[in-house]
Chains A and B, each alone.
Chain A
Amino acid sequence: MVRYRRPAMKLRIAFHYAIKYVPFRCFNDRTAIGAGETEVEIREASGRDAHVAFRVGNHKGFDSYGANDRMFDRKPDGGMREIRAHEGKLYVEAENALGLQDRIDADVNATVFAPCRARVDMENDPRHGRKVTTLEAIRREQREPLKSADDDKGAAMVESLRKRASQLLVVDGVIYQRCVEPVLKMDVQYGRRAYVAPRPKPGHVGWDHREIWGDDRDALFEKLADAHLLLASPLGNGSGESVEMRTDWEVVDPRYSVFDGTAHDVTNLATRTFGILTSSADGLPREALDTMYVLRDALEDASGRATPRLVEALREVSLLTSDVSDPQRLKLAAAAEMRRRASYTYDYRGGIAALRAKAHEEDVVGRAAEKAMESIHRWEARPGSGWEDRAGPVSSHRKGAGWCRELLSPGQIIDACHAAGMDPTPVLAAAKSGKRVYQVGDGPSHASAHAIGTMDADGTVTPLGRKLPEDRVMDLLHGMAEAADRTVETAFDMMPMR
C-alpha cells in the first residue's frame, strides 16, 4: 500500500543567530551576529480534516489586552477569524500563505515566525555598527587566540524555527497557528468589557489555592458556548452597568467549547476573599476569624473546583457585617497602646488593639463580604451542566504527595482526561449515567495528573488510565471514600469550639 503523504508547504528561511566568544584575557563574553539558512515545512490539511470550530473577532483599536489576546482580533479586512480543529487541537487563522516566502525574505519577524526572533534589525540596532560575521572572521580580527567560543552554526535557531513550523497548519492557502480554547473574558475592574481571550492556564489555580496575578486577576471567564449566562448575570449586564462588547463570536462546534469558567472564577474570587481576610487576620473580629477558618478549610477541600461546601462558606462570609459593638472603645484602646508603646518601659509585643482598629478602619470584613457576594453571583451564573451537587462536604483527599478529587463538570473531566492522555468520551458517558468520576495524581501540582477513576453507586471502583500504578490509584480512591465516610459519621462529634 502506498502511504499517502500529506502535502507540505516548504519555506526557506534566512536567519541570524548569536555567536558568543570570550577574547583572550577577558572575563565577560561578547555576542556577534552569525547568519544561516534553513528549510522548514508547514503541514497542509484539507478543509474536511480541519473543520471550523469557532469564528471570533475582537474589535480593533482596543489596546488593553496582550499579544496572546490579539490572535483573536478581526482580520485586517474586517472579517472574522476562523478557528479550526485538527486532530483534537485548535488552530487560529494567522495570515495568507500566498507570498509568505517573499514576506519571510523581506522580514521574518513580521510573519508567523516572529516568536523565534530570527532576524536582527541592523539598522535600528542599539549597538550600532554590528554586522553579520563568522567565527573565523572574529578569530582573524583578534590578535590573540580566543579564550572560548560558542558557535552552534544556528542549530538552536533551526530547532526553534522547526518547532514553530510544527505549530502551524495550511488550510486552503491560509496559515493557521496553534492556539488554546478561546473563551470570553470580561474585565470587571475598570468598566465591564468583554472580549475573546485564550483560556487561563490551569496551573494558576490549584490545590494550594495560589493567587492569580497579572491581568487575569480581575477578570471573569466563561466558555464561549455558555458566555451569555455570564453576560446576563449580576456581574455582567445585571449589575446595572452594561457590558461593553468588544467582540463577536460564533460557536460552530460546541464540543470544543469546554472550559469550566465557573470553577476557575469561583476559586479565584474565593481565594481573594480569603486573602482579604488573612491580610489582617490578627485584627479580625472573632466571628470573622471563625468564618475565615471555615472558608480556609472549604477552599482546601475544593482544590480548584467550585463545591457546594465552598459556596456555603462564601455565603457565610457574605453575611458578615463589620459592626463593632464599640468603635470608640477600639480607638481609645489603640491610642492607649500607642502611648504605652512610646514610653520606653513598655514591652511592645502585640499591638493587637492597633491592628483591630486598623482592620476596622479599613473595613476588611466589609470588603471580604463584598468579594464573597461576587463569587456567589458568579456561582449562580453557572451553566448547570455539571454535577456539583453530588459533592459532599469532603470531595478531595491527600495522602503524602498523592491526591484525589472528584470531578464535577464536563470541562473538568475533559481537562483531566487530556492530562492523563485519555479519550474523554467514555468517561463523560459514564458520568452522565450516574457514576462519580475522580482524578488521581501523584505529584506536587495538577500538572502531574495521571489517572481517572470512576465509582458506581454501590461503591465499586474502576481505575482508568495507565500512567500511574493501579494499586496506587486504588489506594488513593479508597482513602478518599474512607475520608468522606468518616466525616459523615463524626459530623455530630465535631462540634466546633466556639
Chain B
Amino acid sequence: MTRLTIPTLYNADFKRPKKRTVESVTMLGSVEVLLREMEEADAPVVHVVGDTYRPVASDMLSEVRRYNPFPVGKDGPCPVRSVDGKLYARRWRMGDPDKTADLLAAGGALDVYYRDANGGVVMGMRKPTSEPEVYATRAEAEGAKGPFREWDDQYARTASAIQRRCEDMIVVDGWIYDIVGEPVLSVQPADGEVRIIIGQASRPVGPYMHGNDHGKTNDGIRFGIDQLPRALETAERLARAMDGKVANYAVIEMVSPWAVRFRGEREHMRQVALNTLTWGKGRLTSLPAPAGLAWHDLASALSDIDQVNPKVIEALRRIDSLRKVADDEVERFDSNGHARVLNYELSERERQDHLTLEGLSLALDLWDTRQNEGIEWVDRGLNASATFEGNYLAYEVLSLTQADRLALRMGRSLDDIASDAAAGKGHMIAVESASGIAAVAYVSRCESGFEVMGTVTSHGSKPPQAVLDIAVRHASEASAHLNDMDAALDDFGI
C-alpha cells in the first residue's frame, strides 16, 4: 500500500446571522488515500496500445470528459495490465509522495464526478476560479467574512469520494495505473476523413464509476483491438463511399488475443437497426408496401428490447434489398405533393446518414463476416426478442460484453455468470424486474421441453419460482416459433 496525502478543495455553505441566503466559500483541506501496490507477476501486461488522435488529459473538465484513456507518452504507447478481469492503464510515475499527490490533484484524475453513498453526484475536486481566497477552517473563514449562524462543509463527502476513486487505481513498478474499459478500435467517418482511433469498449468498470459516461466513445463502427486489418478494410470502404481518406491514429504494439472479449458487429447492427427504425417511422405512408411491412417486422422485433436477434436481421435484409425502390418511392410520392400534404420532412442529410453511404449494406456485410467465437454466441441464440410476464422481462444474454454489464449490475464477477454460456452449455436467460436483475438462469433442452440447469442471483439465494418459470417459458416459446416454421416447411415438402 502506498500512502499519499492529497490536497483538496471543497465547498462549505454558511448563513450569516439574521439572513436566509445560503452563501458558500471554498475551503482547502487534505485527504489521505491508500493506493494498492501490486507485483508485476500479479498484474500482467496484456496490451500495449496508444491513440495519437486525442490529446492527453489536461486539467480542464471539458478535456476530462473526452479524455484519452490510452495516451502515447514519451515512453511510447500505454501498457494495459489485467487484474481479476479488470484492466488498468498506465498513467503517472510515482516519485516524491508530495509531488505525486500534487500531480494526482492537478492532473485531472480526481476531477470527475462520483456517486456518494446515497447515490447523489458529488464532485471530487474543484478549482477556484473567480474566488481566489481559500480557508482552512471555519474560524478562518469567519474571521474574513464575519460570524456565521449555520455551517455545512462538504469535506467528508469529498474525502470519501476521493478515497473511493483511488480504490480504482493500482501501483505497479513505480507507476500509477488507472482503471479503463477494454481498448477497442473505432472507425469514425468525420470531417472528410475516416479516422481509426482507440476507444474503450464500455465505461470503466470499477465499482464506483458505474453510471458515468465519461470517456465513452462509441460513435462510429467499433472492432476488437485484435481486428486491425478488418477495421482498415472497413475504413477504406467508407472512405471510398464518402470520397475521403483513411487516417489511422491507433498505435498497437502488443495485443493478447486471449484477453480480448469485444466484438462490435452486434452493437453496430443494433445502431443501424435503430437508425432504420427512425428512418422509416416518418415516411411509413410513402414507402412501397413490402418495405413498409418489413419495417413493421423490424419494429416488432425491436420493440420489446433493443437487441439484435434473427428476426431483426431478416427484416433488415428485406429493407436493404428494397432500399433503392424505397428511396425512389419516397421521391415519387414527395414530388406528387404527398410529402407536403402528409407533413413529411424529407431531409436529404438524414437519408444519407441512415440508408445511403452503404450504411445498411455495410452493417449486413460486417455481420455476415463476423468472427466472434467464444465472445458472442448469437448464432446459437433463440429466435425471440423478449418475454413479458407480470413485472418480469426475460431475454437471452448473447455476448460477453452484455454479460459483463449484467455482472456489474448484480455485483458478481463475469466468471460467475458467463463461463458456462460462453462454452455453449445452454441458453443464458436474464430475468429483469423493475428493481433490477432478478436472476440469470441457464436453460437447456431436455426431453420434455426446457429445464433450468442453474441460476445466479446477486444475493446468492434461490430465485422465486415465477422467475424460473418465465425463463423456461421464454425458451419454449421461442422454440415453438421454430417448430411452427419447421411444420410450415414440412408442408412445402422441404
The residues of A with any CB-CB pair to B shorter than 8 Å are 207-208, 210-211, 278, 281-282, 284, 286, 289-290, 292-294, 296-297, 300, 329, 332-333, 336-337, 339, 345, 347, 349-350, 352-353, 356, 496-498
The residues of B with any CB-CB pair to A shorter than 8 Å are 211, 274, 277-278, 281, 284-285, 288-290, 292-294, 296-297, 299-300, 302-304, 306, 318, 336-338, 341-342, 388, 393, 434
Q: Tell me the smallest distance from the CB of B344 to a CB of chain A, in Å.
A: 11
On whether the beta carbons of B341 and A347 are closer than 8 Å, the reply is no
On whether the beta carbons of B304 and A333 are closer than 8 Å, the reply is yes
A208 to B286, alpha carbons, bound, how many Å? Answer: 13
Q: Which of B274, B296, B302, B318 contacts A286 (CB 8 A)?
A: B296
Residues in chain B near residue A286, CB distance under 8 A? 293, 296-297, 300
Given A282-B281, A332-B388, A350-B278, verify A496-B289 contact (CB < 8 Å): yes
21 cross-chain CB contacts under 8 A: A207-B336, A211-B341, A286-B293, A290-B293, A292-B285, A293-B288, A297-B289, A329-B388, A339-B434, A347-B274, A349-B274, A349-B278, A350-B274, A350-B277, A350-B278, A350-B281, A350-B299, A352-B299, A496-B289, A496-B290, A497-B293
Given A339-B434, A497-B289, verify A208-B338 contact (CB < 8 Å): yes
Given A208-B337, A278-B342, verify A352-B302 contact (CB < 8 Å): yes
A329 to B306, alpha carbons, bound, how many Å? Answer: 17
On whether the beta carbons of B277 and A349 are closer than 8 Å, the reply is yes
Q: Tell me the smallest distance from the CB of B298 to a CB of chain A, in Å.
A: 9
On whether the beta carbons of A336 and B292 are closer than 8 Å, the reply is no
Q: Tell me the smallest distance from the CB of A402 to a CB of chain B, in Å.
A: 13
Q: Tell me the smallest distance from the CB of B315 to a CB of chain A, in Å.
A: 12
On whether the beta carbons of B299 and A281 are closer than 8 Å, the reply is no
Q: Once A and B bind, how many residue pairs between them come within 8 Å at the CB atom?
A: 75
Residues in chain B near residue A293, CB distance under 8 A? 288-289, 292-293
Q: Is the interface of A mostly helix, strand, loop or mixed?
A: helix
Q: Tell me the smallest distance from the CB of A461 to a CB of chain B, in Å.
A: 26
Residues in chain A near residue B304, CB distance under 8 A? 333, 336, 353
Residues in chain A near residue B290, CB distance under 8 A? 496-497
On whether the beta carbons of A350 and B336 are closer than 8 Å, the reply is no
Q: Tell me the smallest distance from the CB of A238 to a CB of chain B, in Å.
A: 33
Q: Tell me the smallest distance from the CB of B410 to a CB of chain A, in Å.
A: 16
Q: Which of A297, A339, A356 contacts B303 (CB 8 A)?
A: A356
Residues in chain B near residue A349, CB distance under 8 A? 274, 277-278, 306
On whether the beta carbons of A289 and B296 are closer than 8 Å, the reply is yes
Residues in chain B near residue A345, CB distance under 8 A? 211
In this complex, what residue of A is CB-closest to B336? A208
Q: Tell me the smallest distance from the CB of B384 to a CB of chain A, in Å.
A: 13
A333 to B385, alpha carbons, bound, how many Å? Answer: 12
A278 to B296, alpha carbons, bound, how many Å? Answer: 14
Q: Tell me the smallest distance from the CB of B284 to a CB of chain A, in Å.
A: 4
Residues in chain A near residue B281, CB distance under 8 A? 282, 350
| Across the A-B interface, the 4 shortest Cβ-Cβ residue pairs | A293-B289, A497-B290, A208-B337, A332-B388
Residues in chain A near residue B388, CB distance under 8 A? 329, 332-333, 336
Given A293-B292, A332-B388, A333-B388, verify A282-B284 contact (CB < 8 Å): yes
In this complex, what residue of A is CB-closest to B294? A497
Q: Tell me the smallest distance from the CB of B350 to a CB of chain A, in Å.
A: 13
A345 to B293, alpha carbons, bound, how many Å? Answer: 30
Q: Tell me the smallest distance from the CB of A78 to a CB of chain B, in Å.
A: 46
Residues in chain B near residue A337, CB distance under 8 A? 303
Q: Which of A281, A300, A332, A350 contacts B302 (CB 8 A)?
A: A350
A332 to B393, alpha carbons, bound, how many Å? Answer: 9
Residues in chain A near residue B303, CB distance under 8 A? 333, 337, 350, 352-353, 356
In this complex, what residue of A is CB-closest to B304? A333
Q: Tell me the smallest distance from the CB of B115 to a CB of chain A, in Å.
A: 13
On whether the beta carbons of A336 and B274 are closer than 8 Å, the reply is no
Q: Tell me the smallest distance from the CB of A194 to a CB of chain B, in Å.
A: 31
A97 to B477, alpha carbons, bound, how many Å? Answer: 85
Residues in chain B near residue A332, CB distance under 8 A? 388
A283 to B290, alpha carbons, bound, how many Å? Answer: 17
A332 to B386, alpha carbons, bound, how many Å? Answer: 12
Specify which of A278, A345, A349, A496 lies most central, judged by the most chain B CB atoms within 10 Å of its CB: A349
Given A349-B278, A350-B274, A356-B303, verify A281-B336 contact (CB < 8 Å): no
Residues in chain A near residue B342, CB distance under 8 A? 278
Residues in chain A near residue B297, CB distance under 8 A? 286
Q: Tell me the smallest distance from the CB of B488 to a CB of chain A, in Å.
A: 14
